[in-house]
Amino acid sequence: MTRVCLLGDPAVDLTYELLSRETARDALATYDIEEPFANSLAVDTVSLGAAVSLLNDLNWYLVRFVDEAIVREPSISTDEWLSRDLARAVRDGAIPPEETDQRLKVFGLVDGEPVDPRYV
């Protein structure tokens, strides 16, 4: 399963903002929603293509309420996440899966919460 995780803008309650709007609620209705970090939302999709499609469906909300949209595809890596743009590029065949590790953004974790990303 491919996991999509949305890290909310600190100024909003991400789960409330998404689930209080009919279009976003409908897009997420078939998924089991989890909150792996404070003010985040994660769902498992059947494939990388489905993950990218879900993010496309939620784009209006991502622009307004989400700081980061990340995707973990187990066939690429079990412990590294792809940015939305990188996931799309892999899905479209523009970047081979074995080359995703050349594009890194490292999040620190403080008390289990992601903080201040750094590019490597």
Q: What tens digit of pLDDT does each residue of 93-118 get?
A: 999 998 887 776 666 777 767 767 66
State residue 55 phi and psi, 5-degree precision: -65, -40
**Cα 57–74–38 angle (5° rounding)?**
60
- pLDDT, position 47: 96
For residue 80, pLDDT beyond 70: yes
Which whole number is the average pLDDT over 38-61?
97
What's this model's pTM, rounded to 2 decimal places?
0.88
- pLDDT, position 100: 84
